[in-house]
């Protein structure tokens, strides 16, 4: 592992990032006067800034560390994720940007509650948000703990507590203003770091992409077969399910949808997602090349990879090892600190969306029916953040050895199967009724959780059974279809008085969603 | 409510909705079908996927994947520009009428 323990560059860069982020938080806290500033930074973020913040929200440590690891092990297969991500963001721009921004205020629940029964639908949205946010938070924090343990020799619990404490401070005192600027800073650092790594890697190959691929094939145990479609390409259903998990799942992530409301209008919302597509697309292409470069460069370096191809510290360490190999100790320290800053910024965004679901959607709108002062709502949000953070820290300590991949799959699959169908149909289908939305959402949730438990990852990987009951890793094709079918079926057979109000409300919603 | 229903029958507003939705679903459909065609093709044509792209060492499958990522970026830029233009054309007329 780490030969000489602590890396001083990593510690200096990381402490500077933390100091800067706390300064941003202090600055944001002084400007925080209203609920709108707490949840959406007063909608004063520009499209360009928000583009970086959106990209930062999505480019988690999982994409930077995880995908290069996937390429290292499985070759071309990882490209299925990278392309899905870029397509998904473009789809969010085309389908959601205008209408979401024009209809919403703080959370995606504002949008679906526009014409549907506000209290009932917000309970569903809050459940949908929390079932995405909590597994996602735990996945990030467990990942951070493991990374910190390997990189800095800090005990796991210590790392989880540092992440937990910092994210709580950012959200409680700085709200969305601080979260946005920390996210922008991190996105710039991450893109710059990945670019530098890409240049260092390409320099080793004489700036020839051909050489990158040739030496990957020469170095890898599977030879040129790493370019062939591998284990993820089982059958069309697997491909459809994986694609839908990313395309619909990203469009249903509450902390990403919440960012639509930090800009003043639909024009800026479109622009911001346009920038995000560019940044994320570039990043996805860069990490594929870095991943193949890693195969050629790290294989045979016994300090990082043993003679059967096992990576020291696990597959997630590929980018970090590579940084050290091509850039030396200083660059390695820099990239380790950037990876950690990435996790910090992402968890802050997720925590804010979870506390908005509890404090805004559930407490303010359902329990108090909107009869609450701004001051009180902000106070409730702050307490909600503290409590959710405490729960996430507790669960991360408890489930230290949980499979992070399973948690991330759950978060994305729930977002695709519960949040996405409700938002999509609320925006585009007049016939959607409250009853249909709730039945569909509950169906999506039950189907997605049941199929993940029965899938190879959990049934075989966690419970140790010989064969999975449900053969596919991603349940999304089935769970998204079930949610849509039940929502539509229940809606068209809903003859209640409420259903009439829901359908009649579509005309007014359409006008507002198109022109703001 | 009456104002909104008036707007719904306003020809300029109707054009705004239909022009926007044409681009919305056209671009979405194009990208998503490109993705799934590329993905499913990998199952049936693994040899071709791994073949080298136009004399380089880059596998065709990865080259096409990269092109789809670039297409996402290009279509996003075009979409932002077109929709801004459509809104300018249709909403200017809109404000005169309301």
ipTM of predicted assembly, 2 dp: 0.94
Q: Given this model, what pLDDT does residue A3 score?
A: 45
pLDDT band at A443 (very low <50, low <70, confident <90, very high): very high
Q: Tell me the C-alpha distance between A277 and B28, whole Å.
A: 14
Q: Given this model, what pLDDT does residue B4 score?
A: 67
From the list A41, A50, A46, the residue with the least C-alpha distance to A276 is: A50
Most trustworthy range by pLDDT among A261-265, A339-343, B49-53: A261-265
In total, how many domains does chain A have?
1
* Boundaries of domain holding A51: 12-400
* Long-range contact pairs involving A43-46 (C-beta distance under 8 Å, separation at least 24): A43/A261, A43/A262, A43/A263, A43/A264, A44/A262, A44/A264, A45/A180, A45/A262, A45/A263, A45/A272, A46/A263, A46/A268, A46/A272
A443 domain residue, yes or no: no
A 413-432 residues with CB < 8 A to B: none
Query: Which of the pair, A70 or A308, is modelled with greater confidence?
Result: A70
Task: Give how far the C-alpha of residue A27 lies from the chain's centroid of Cα atoms, to the nearest Å.
Answer: 26
Q: Given this model, what pLDDT does residue B98 score?
A: 44
Is A396 a residue whose pLDDT tops 50? yes
Q: Tell me the C-alpha distance between A437 and A113, whole Å.
A: 11
Chain B residues in contact with A222 (beta carbon < 8 A): none
Q: Given this model, what pLDDT does residue A63 score?
A: 78
Contact A228 B13 (CB under 8 A): no
List pLDDT tens digits, range B6-22. Answer: 788 888 889 999 999 99
Smallest Cα distance from B93 to chain A, Å: 13
Average pLDDT, chain A: 92
A508 domain residue, yes or no: no
Q: Given this model, what pLDDT does residue A62 score?
A: 73
Is B97 a residue whose pLDDT tops 80? no
A 261-300 residues with CB < 8 A to B: 267, 270-271, 273-274, 277-278, 281-282, 284-285, 288
A347 domain residue, yes or no: yes
Nearest CA in chain B to A267: B84
Chain B residues in contact with A237 (beta carbon < 8 A): none
List pLDDT tens digits, range A399-419. Answer: 888 777 788 888 999 999 999
Most trustworthy range by pLDDT among A69-73, A423-427, B94-98: A423-427
A55 domain residue, yes or no: yes
Q: Which of B28, B36, B65 minimises the CB distance to A243?
A: B36
Count how many Cα atoms sit within 13 Å of the Cα of residue A136 in the half-sphere of its side chain: 32
Contact A267 B84 (CB under 8 A): yes
- Find the mean pLDDT for residues A238-252: 95
Sign for the pseudo-dihedral over CA of A174, A179, A130, A114? positive
pLDDT band at A10 (very low <50, low <70, confident <90, very high): confident
pLDDT band at B2 (very low <50, low <70, confident <90, very high): low
Q: Which of A227, A236, A511 minimises the CB distance to B59?
A: A227
pLDDT band at A33 (very low <50, low <70, confident <90, very high): confident
A134 domain residue, yes or no: yes
* Boundaries of domain holding B86: 2-97
Smallest Cα distance from A80 to chain B, Å: 7
Smallest Cα distance from B35 to chain A, Å: 7
Q: Tell me the C-alpha distance between A149 and A141, whole Å.
A: 12
Q: Among A145-159, A291-305, A316-330, A435-449, where is mean pLDDT lowest?
A: A145-159
* Beta-carbon contacts of residue B83 (< 8 Å; ≥ 6 apart): A98, A270, B20, B23
Contact B17 A510 (CB under 8 A): yes
Nearest CA in chain B to A232: B43
Smallest Cα distance from B38 to chain A, Å: 9
In total, how many domains does chain B have?
1
pLDDT > 90 fraction of chain A, expressed in percent and rounded: 75
A 105-164 residues with CB < 8 A to B: none
Query: Which of the pair, A258 or B94, is modelled with greater confidence?
Result: A258
A454 domain residue, yes or no: no
List pLDDT tens digits, range A184-209. Answer: 999 999 999 999 999 999 999 999 99
Q: Given this model, what pLDDT does residue A6 score?
A: 61
Domain at A80, CATH number: 1.20.1730.10
Residue A142 corresponds to which tokens in the numbers above? 């467990």
CA distances from A221 to A5, A299, A321 (A): 31, 9, 19
Smallest Cα distance from A231 to chain B, Å: 10
A236 CB within 8 Å of a chain B CB: yes
Q: Tell me the C-alpha distance between A300 and A307, whole Å.
A: 7
């Amino acid at each position: 592992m780490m030969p000489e323990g602590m890396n001083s560059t990593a510690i200096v860069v990381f402490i500077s990032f933390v100091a800067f982020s706390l300064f941003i938080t202090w600055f944001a806290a002084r400007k925080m006067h209203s609920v709108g500033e707490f949840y959406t930074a007063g909608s004063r973020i520009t499209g360009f800034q928000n583009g970086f913040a959106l990209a930062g929200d999505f480019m988690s440590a999982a994409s930077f560390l995880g995908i290069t690891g996937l390429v290292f092990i499985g070759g071309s297969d990882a490209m299925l994720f990278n392309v899905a991500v870029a397509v998904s963001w473009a789809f969010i721009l085309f389908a959601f940007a205008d209408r979401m921004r024009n209809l919403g205020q703080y959370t995606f629940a504002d949008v679906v509650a526009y014409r549907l029964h506000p209290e009932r639908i917000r309970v569903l949205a809050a459940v949908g948000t929390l079932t995405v946010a909590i597994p996602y938070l735990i996945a990030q924090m467990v990942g951070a703990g493991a990374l910190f343990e390997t990189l800095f020799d800090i005990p796991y619990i210590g790392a989880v507590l540092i992440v937990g404490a910092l994210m709580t401070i950012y959200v409680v005192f700085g709200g969305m203003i601080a979260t946005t600027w920390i996210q922008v800073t991190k996105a710039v650092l991450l893109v710059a770091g990945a670019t530098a790594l890409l240049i260092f890697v390409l320099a080793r190959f004489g700036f020839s992409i051909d050489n990158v691929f040739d030496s990957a094939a020469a170095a890898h145990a599977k030879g040129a077969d790493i370019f062939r479609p591998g284990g993820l390409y089982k059958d069309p259903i697997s491909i459809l399910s994986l694609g839908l998990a990313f395309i619909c799942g990203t469009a249903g992530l509450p902390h990403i949808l919440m960012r639509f409301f930090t800009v003043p209008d639909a024009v800026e919302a479109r622009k911001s997602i346009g920038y995000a597509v560019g940044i994320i697309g570039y990043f996805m292409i860069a990490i594929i090349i870095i991943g193949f470069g890693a195969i050629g460069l790290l294989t045979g370096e016994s300090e990082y990879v043993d003679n059967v191809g096992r990576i020291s510290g696990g597959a997630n360490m590929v980018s970090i090892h590579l940084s050290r190999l091509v850039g030396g100790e200083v660059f390695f320290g820099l990239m380790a600190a950037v990876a950690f800053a990435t996790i910090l910024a992402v968890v802050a965004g997720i925590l804010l969306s979870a506390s908005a679901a509890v404090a805004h959607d559930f407490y303010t709108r359902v329990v108090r029916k909107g009869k609450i002062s701004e001051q009180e709502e902000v106070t409730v949000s702050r307490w909600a953040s503290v409590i959710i953070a405490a729960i996430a820290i507790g669960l991360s300590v408890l489930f230290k050895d949980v499979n992070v991949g399973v948690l991330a799959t759950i978060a994305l699959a729930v977002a695709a199967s519960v949040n996405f169908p409700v938002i999509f149909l609320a925006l585009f289908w007049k016939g959607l009724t409250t009853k249909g939305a709730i039945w569909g959402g509950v169906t999506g949730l039950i189907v997605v959780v049941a199929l993940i438990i029965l899938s190879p990852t959990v049934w075989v990987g966690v419970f140790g059974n010989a064969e999975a009951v449900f053969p596919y890793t991603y349940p999304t094709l089935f769970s998204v279809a079930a949610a849509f079918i039940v929502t539509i079926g229940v809606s068209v057979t809903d003859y209640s008085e409420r259903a009439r109000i829901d359908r009649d409300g579509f005309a007014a919603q359409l006008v507002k969603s198109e022109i703001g | 409510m009456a104002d909104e229903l008036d707007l719904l029958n306003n020809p300029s507003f109707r054009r705004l909705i239909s022009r926007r939705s044409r681009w919305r679903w056209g671009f979405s459909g194009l990208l998503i079908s490109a993705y799934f065609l590329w993905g499913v093709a990998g199952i049936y044509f693994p040899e071709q996927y791994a073949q080298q792209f136009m004399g380089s060492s880059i596998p065709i499958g990865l080259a096409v994947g990269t092109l789809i990522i670039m297409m996402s970026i290009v279509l996003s830029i075009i979409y932002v520009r077109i929709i801004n233009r459509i809104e300018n054309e249709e909403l200017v007329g809109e404000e005169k009428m309301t």
